[in-house]
């Protein structure tokens, strides 16, 4: 694991109080709460960016479903004539 580095961050007072409260409730240092929150945020953002890139690549390969077909399928949900899900053409 990399050597820890000190980073200074200015937080709005309400967010600082929330971090204080959570750290106290979990009997953990504020820095551990902030580190965990930052790791979770970065992981989520990395996943989202990868999913967007994957979607763009699929579109560029022509792997798309017609909007009108998707709309018709969704509108058929819960009816006696529910349509099968549209397929990539």
Q: Looking at residue 1, what is its pLDDT?
A: 74
84: in domain: no
- Secondary-structure percent of the chain, ordered helix, strand, coil, rounded to 5: 60, 0, 40
44: in domain: yes
Structural domain range at position 52: 13-62
The number of domains in the chain is 1
Decide: 82 and 76 in contact? Cβ < 8 Å: yes
73: in domain: no
Q: How far apart are the first and last CA of the chain?
A: 47
Q: Looking at residue 48, what is its pLDDT?
A: 98
Q: Looking at residue 89, what is its pLDDT?
A: 77
> pLDDT of the chain along its 89 residues, tens only?
789 899 999 999 999 999 999 999 999 999 999 999 999 999 999 999 999 999 999 999 999 999 999 999 999 999 999 999 999 97
Q: Looking at residue 2, what is its pLDDT?
A: 86
Q: Looking at residue 24, what is its pLDDT?
A: 98
């Amino acid at each position: 694991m990399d050597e820890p580095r000190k980073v200074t961050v200015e937080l709005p007072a309400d967010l600082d109080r929330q971090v204080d409260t959570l750290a106290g409730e979990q009997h953990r240092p504020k820095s551990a709460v902030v580190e965990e929150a930052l790791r979770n945020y970065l992981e989520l953002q990395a996943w989202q960016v990868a999913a967007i890139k994957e979607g763009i690549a699929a579109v560029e390969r022509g792997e798309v479903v017609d909007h009108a077909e998707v709309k018709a399928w969704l509108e058929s949900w819960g009816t006696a004539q529910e349509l099968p899900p549209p397929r990539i053409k």
